[in-house]
Structure 1
Amino acid sequence: MNFSVALHLLVQKRFGPLVAAQALGAFNDNLFRFALVNLATFHGLTIMGLDRELMVPVAATALTLPIFLFSAVAGQVADRYDRAWIMRRTKLAEVVLMLAASVGFFLNNALLLVIVLFFMGMQSAFFAPARNAAIPTLLKDNELVTGNALVWGTLNVAILGGAGLAALFVISDNSAWLLSATLAGVALIGFAVMCLNSPAPPDAKDVKISWNIIGQTFRVMSFAFKAPDVLRPLLGVSWFWMLAASVVTLMPLFTAEVLGGDETVGFAFTGLFTIGAALGAILCGLFTKGKDALGFTIAGAFGLALFPAFVAFYTLGWTEPDEDALLGAQEFLADARNWPVLGGLTLSAMSAGLFMVPLQAMAQRRADPELRGRVLAAGGIMNAASASLGQFTLFVIGLLTLPLQTAFAFIAIVSGLFGMLGLWRLAKRRKSQE
């Protein structure tokens, strides 16, 4: 990625407002989600007395389930209507939802917060296909990898900001006020920014919108399965979301129950993970030069096999910490034994960025323009299903009382399989070119 090209894209109406609006939305999503996760993990917020090992994945699933349910309808909408118009409407819905979340935080009502989280997932279900379908409409073909690198790089920075403020806000005496004002204010700014974006016209204005969720889900998935060159990168992106959901859900528990760290340590890990993912995304944009980059995906897959496995085996057998004497970030970092864990998670995140960004650009580039919204919505359905599966895996680990390191081992094994599949595809491609 030429940095001058990236900066040029960021200041143009055809792309800059989209990047800013989606980053502000990601910030809000993660401020809300991490605040809820931290309150459940460290402050006893619960529904019907659920243990925190079960409460955390339940809350996380509330966000991904509506994405699975409504992405098929959202794909039709993205193919029929202007994508920028759709994104403006979803940003307006975000303002209303953040006001409802504010009520939940003031009442300390976990059920209301989880319900709002469900509707946030619905909002994301309509925003994501519109955004993904708009990008190849707004950008030139040789700008796609750069554009996706900017989108995912800024998204990870936004995740870091949201997660960091969540960790700080929940320990404040004025947490409800701080969360409410920030969530509502950022949502309003995001809506205003999105109103500045250039139009992103649809390619199939005659599509009839069907609200038959089950029927349209099968139909949209059939579009993806009939386009195997698009389906393959979509499956890879889905794996990224599965492992990302697993790690995001796992980290507060892993920090407290294995590493003996408090919220500040959890924030440090989240910061390293999100910065690493952003760096991985930027590296893709820097070196791919606008072309398919299967080699980067393969390298990322093997990194995701190596580094999570290292974290799992390195921490296996550590003495269970005293929950009444959790370490702060300064004390935790002072112990050299913890440094390899920091390094392993950072390199895992960089590998995730390398793995995912080229795949997203491949899918956008290869999708039929008239079906692009629906085909990419099929990717959203797979992303939600895989994210829910990742969270369900953690739920099962909790039910079976397995070590939390089991989740890292699972990530390593499946990523290794993706790496081997990628090597096979690369070898097959090179053979066909001889």
Structure 2
Amino acid sequence: MSSQFQLMKERRFRPFFFTQFLGAFNDNVFKTALITLVTFRAGQLTQLDGAMLATLLPGLFILPFFLFSATCGQLADKYDKAAVARFVKLFEIAVMALAAWGFVAHLLWPLVTALFLMGLHSTLFGPVKYAYLPQHLQPQELVGGNGMVEMGTFVAILIGQVLGAWLVSVTDSGTLVAGVVLSLAVLGWWVSRGIPPSPAADPGLKVNWNPLTETARNLRFAHGNRTVWLSLLGISWFWFYGATLLAQFPNFARNVLGGDESVFILLLTVFSLGVGVGSLACEKLSGGKVEIGLVPFGAIGLTLFGIDLWLASPDAPSGALTLAGALATHARLLADIAALGFFGGLYIVPLYALIQTRSEKSHQSRVIAANNILNAAFMVASAGVTLGLFSLGLNIPELFLAAALFNAVVAIYIYSLVPEFLLRFVVWLLIHTVYRLDAKKLDAIPEDGPAVLVCNHVSFVDALVITAACRRPIRFVMDHRIFRTPLLGWLFRTSRCIPIAPAKEDPALLERAYDDIATALAAGELVGLFPEGQITDTGELLPFRAGIRRIVDRSPVPVVPLALRGLWGSFFSRKDGPAMSRPLRRGLFSRIELVGGDAVAPDSATPEALHATVAALRGDRR
């Protein structure tokens, strides 16, 4: 994972990272100090019910995301993002001055006003935050960069929440917390001065200052890309789930566990550390590419450990619980909270990287703004749903159970609409359990635009292995009979494989396959082909058929040769008889390789030349 940490040495990333880190840090020092006050010492500020305020105040913070995200997305596309970031930091200084007065004077209304304005501050910075990364990072750095940002954000949340709660617990005076939040705002502005220029994506954009019409326009635009839209919904659901849990941590610590501020801090610590570790693990687990197969894995963990958090919660507090007592008696509960954070990191980082890579560059900030609008709507809904479930008689652990079960329903719904998520999950499991894949020299596969990939055909999972190694979706041309195979048929249909048949068996299907290939290439897609026409039953490379020539004559695109090594003799190969007849023939974690060669020009892509190239790439290892 050294590559993502290497970014911290570079000016294109380091000042931006610390600017967003300090912004999230200050947000949480301020918010947590305020929520801790109203939860544990409400009498210092107001006569209103502290538990009700603790539920409503987070909703007030995220309300500006819903109201102003569309306008802020336009500003981030129209102006230099570094300049917008510095303006946001100056605005933060003014807001924290108002908050400092509220803390010192023990007045609720300046604090509530500052909370709303800090929400506006984050609304302004949000589109800059995620649109900046694809502008300065290479595609292969995006997962690591997003992982660093998410890790930094949740570490900032952790430290900010711990510091905010501690500042309130050590003194009744508001002077200390006032000085800290104001100082952090000034430091954030100073760091932002080092962010390198980030040219506007659309400097000629005419800003629509009507937030209602622009919000509707942003959502319509984001809705136009189905995968991006459903990814935005997936991210927003995560914030619904996370907001439901985090908003109840103060009351969970006090009323369910019987603890004080230190137990509340402990819950925040283990959750935030879990998210940080999960976010950093994404680059390692995804091999440095945008691997959406981790998203279902994360969703499964969010449900399972949410259910176990309910099971591990005590029926009643066991007296005054200290920090040491919580560590000694609630290890399972704390492990559940840490696991929720870890799987949350696996869930959300690939989704952010996906929308950055698949949304139009000129509208990236506005797509992020649409994301913020949806996030805000879901988080406001979280507060409303929480109050509704409490009114029905649910307690806090039962609320956690309901959120975990809702998560399973939402995940199944989204993955049924976009099967690519589940396909990538199955592929990811395949190469992290049955196999260990080493992909080499795949640079010739273009980042965008059409190409034909040709490879030797060793097993029934060759297409899945190549899919796992490639950042882009591939339309494989497959024998129509394989679509009748249980599970594999579903996988290949899900990945939009193109069925083909011999001319003597179904000439109409053959012609339709060539038409579908030409259509896919004209649309700029990758097409995968196994020119042998069948899976080898000897381990040797069979002659390549003439179909590749017909394809490139009709669609003159580059042809990229690939070679699989090490799959011969595995469970899915035909060595010593039918495939898939001897489970775990070579055990788990069998090492395989995929090796790429230089792209071949269309006029040189003959069956004989490609056969020789693939044979040389494969070498002696079958």
TM-score (norm 2): 0.66
Distance apart, 1:46 and its partner CA? 7.9
Secondary structure of the 2:368 match is helix
Distance apart, 1:48 and its partner CA? 6.0
Distance apart, 1:428 and its partner CA? 5.7
Provide Cα deviations, 1:390-420, integer angstroms capped at 9, x if missing partner.
Answer: 1222222344442112321222112213443
Residue from 38, 58, 61 that aligns with 1:60:
58
Distance apart, 1:52 and its partner CA? 2.1
The answer to whether the aligner puts 1:414 opposite 2:406 as a matched pair is yes
Q: Structure 1 CA distance, aligned partners of 2:357 and 2:302?
A: 25
Match of 2:367 in 1: 375
The answer to whether the aligner puts 1:327 opposite 2:321 as a matched pair is yes
Matches within 5 A, 1:11-410: 11-45=9-43, 49-173=47-171, 175-315=173-313, 318-320=315-317, 326-335=320-329, 338-410=330-402
Q: What letter matches 2:299 in structure 1?
A: A
Over 3 Å counting, the alpha-carbon distance change for 1:334 and 1:291 in structure 2 is: closer
Distance apart, 1:244 and its partner CA? 1.8
2:60/2:116 contact within 8 Å kept: yes
Distance apart, 1:59 and its partner CA? 1.0
Percent of aligned pairs with the same residue? 33
Gaps of 5+ in 2: 425-490, 498-622
Distance apart, 1:194 and its partner CA? 0.9
Q: Structure 1 CA distance, aligned partners of 2:391 and 2:242?
A: 21
Which structure has more relative contact order (CA 8 Å, sep 6+)? It is 1
Distance apart, 1:174 and its partner CA? 5.7
Equivalenced residue count is 426
Distance apart, 1:280 and its partner CA? 0.5
2:78/2:205 contact within 8 Å kept: yes
Distance apart, 1:227 and its partner CA? 1.4
Which protein shows a greater Rg? 2
Q: What letter matches 1:31 in structure 2?
A: V
More strand by share: 2
Secondary structure of the 1:211 match is coil
Q: Structure 2 CA distance, aligned partners of 1:175 and 1:17?
A: 34
Distance apart, 1:175 and its partner CA? 4.4
- TM-align CA RMSD: 1.8
Q: Which moved more, 1:197-206 or 1:424-433?
A: 424-433
1:246/1:394 contact within 8 Å kept: yes
2:295/2:421 contact within 8 Å kept: no
Distance apart, 1:69 and its partner CA? 0.3
2:130/2:365 contact within 8 Å kept: yes
Over 3 Å counting, the alpha-carbon distance change for 1:45 and 1:74 in structure 2 is: farther
1:273/1:349 contact within 8 Å kept: yes
Runs of 4+ in 1 over 6 A off after TM superposition: none
2:62/2:379 contact within 8 Å kept: yes
Q: Structure 1 CA distance, aligned partners of 2:45 and 2:393?
A: 21
1:46/1:55 contact within 8 Å kept: no
Secondary structure of the 1:356 match is helix
Provide Cα deviations, 1:17-41, integer angstroms capped at 9, x if missing partner.
Answer: 1111111111111111111111111
2:61/2:116 contact within 8 Å kept: yes
Q: Structure 1 CA distance, aligned partners of 2:197 and 2:288?
A: 23
2:241/2:407 contact within 8 Å kept: no
Gaps of 5+ in 1: none
Over 3 Å counting, the alpha-carbon distance change for 1:279 and 1:289 in structure 2 is: same
Secondary structure of the 1:101 match is helix
Q: What letter matches 2:69 in structure 1?
A: S
Q: Which moved more, 1:288-297 or 1:60-69?
A: 288-297
Match of 1:425 in 2: 420
Q: Structure 2 CA distance, aligned partners of 1:332 and 1:278?
A: 22
Distance apart, 1:152 and its partner CA? 0.4
Over 3 Å counting, the alpha-carbon distance change for 1:252 and 1:199 in structure 2 is: same
1:239/1:383 contact within 8 Å kept: yes
Secondary structure of the 1:231 match is helix
Q: Which moved more, 1:344-353 or 1:52-61?
A: 52-61
Secondary structure of the 1:327 match is coil
Q: Structure 2 CA distance, aligned partners of 1:227 and 1:422?
A: 16
Over 3 Å counting, the alpha-carbon distance change for 1:48 and 1:190 in structure 2 is: closer
Q: Structure 1 CA distance, aligned partners of 2:243 and 2:423?
A: 32
Provide Cα deviations, 1:124-161, integer angstroms capped at 9, x if missing partner.
Answer: 11100011111111111111111100000011111111
Over 3 Å counting, the alpha-carbon distance change for 1:302 and 1:45 in structure 2 is: farther
Secondary structure of the 1:171 match is helix
2:70/2:215 contact within 8 Å kept: yes
